[in-house]
Structure 1
Amino acid sequence: MNSIRSPSSANNLVGIRPTKGLISLDGILPVSFTQDAVGPIARTVEDAAIMLDVMAGSDKTKPGAAYSDALVENGLKGARIGVLQNLFGTQQIHEEVNTATHAAMEEMKNLGATLVPINIPGLDTDKLIADLDVQKYEIKEELNRYFSTYRTPVKTLEEFLAKDSFHASVESALQGAQAVENPLTRQDYLARLKKLETLKKQILQVMDEHDVDVLLYPHQKRLVVPVGEAQVDRNGIVGALTGFPAITFQGGFSAPTASADWRTGWH
């Protein structure tokens, strides 16, 4: 899911999606046990790192054991950052995001980082969502598990749908999930899981070949849409599918508009 990074990206905050498994999902209602994660959203990188220490149970009594211990001045000096060209938009509607991202990249260079342009053949977020996303197979199992484990007025997704007490925007997805019989044994689901492993290996191989520490790309190719509309051109699926850690941080502001003016707040 993009529930950590998308709000962070839209609201000029820092969001950390940790490595899969770092923070327990106990008590959480995820959509997908393969793709979902829990992580902090904060105002600054330091605040987010401190929150991650607490959420992950870092031992502050041991030097270097906490994520916040890694926050050092001139931390970008000598870093090699792979700029994932595939995930930048190429149309005019993507221009403001690209401008802000490139400005942030220049600042990174000024702070001592080396930027390495990278293209991964065939890496396209729309295609990843269409071909590898497994949420629709796992959501029924997750909801049934949650409802049966905790004190809730319903015990299955089927019962929940019968109550008709959900927002219309999620009805189609929930109805579709309920209609899938034995989702976790379906061949198309198992095939997607295999493709996920291939994707992970492909990305790690490219990073190794270019000797980069991290990959950089805009979380979403275009500006956030008005409330009520579906956000498009999101790149967050890469982190969700691979389970690799991902951090969204401030990249600057777009120009104010009638519906979004950072100088006076939302209209």
Structure 2
Amino acid sequence: MTPRDASDADGSRWSDLDRPPLNATALRRALVREGGLWSEVEVVQRIGSTNSELVTRATQGRAGEGAVLVAEEQTSGRGRLDRRWTAPPRSGLFFSVLLRPSEVPVARWGWLPLLTGVAVASGLARAAGVDTALKWPNDLLVTVAGEERKAGGILAERAGEDGVVIGVGINVTLRADELPVPQAGSLALAGAAGTDRDPLLRAVLRSLEEWYGRWRSAGGDPAAGGLQEAYAAGCATLGRTVRADLPGERSVVGEAVAVDGDGRLVIATEEGVQEPVGAGDIVHLRPA
């Protein structure tokens, strides 16, 4: 499938007043500037996966650092562990960015998904006026009717030797009857003050540019750049009893007590062992 610019979509810009398309021209004007991170912003009407497309472009030398690919609809969107991400057209923000952090040791690149989580949460807090929290390592949580719900996710993939593509999916205007699973949520259902996707996307990308710049300037040191502290402050997983389902069908149960310098979740078990978890599925068992 060949991506098409959203401006070429079937029908006029006002064909869906509840969910108008993104304004690609205005987004480029607002985000692409001399000396800034974002080098190009492309909005396509329909695509399989923004991450897959941008990884392909990056490895083929057709995209540089700061490329942003946004889709009004994804037909093969993916989350962690190859889980599918589905949503109605124009109901959310579905985009990927290409980063090439050459001045940061590769060992610290694992912080990029967590950095993106901090940037997304802080950008949405400013632009949407809704409280958000982070579930380690890459879920965005909102509160709907007193219940914690997942409204977004982040997926990072290597793109060649020197690139990382980070994909972000955020449910913005999904109604209750449109949720893919009962545990999902959206900014609208969480009572967001604003759900206009243009300012939301601008806020998130500006926040990402700011945090990425600080992280790079610190050589990727999460403590020196304030990233580790910011992530811990916004992480809903810390202080809770959790179960980590690990590769090899092993599980660890205990209290999530910290996020260490490598971005791993540290779990204190009943046996008195503090076990760092770098990859796995985390289940919140009890509130903090």
The normalised TM-score by structure 1 is 0.26
The normalised TM-score by structure 2 is 0.25
More strand by share: 2
More helix by share: 1
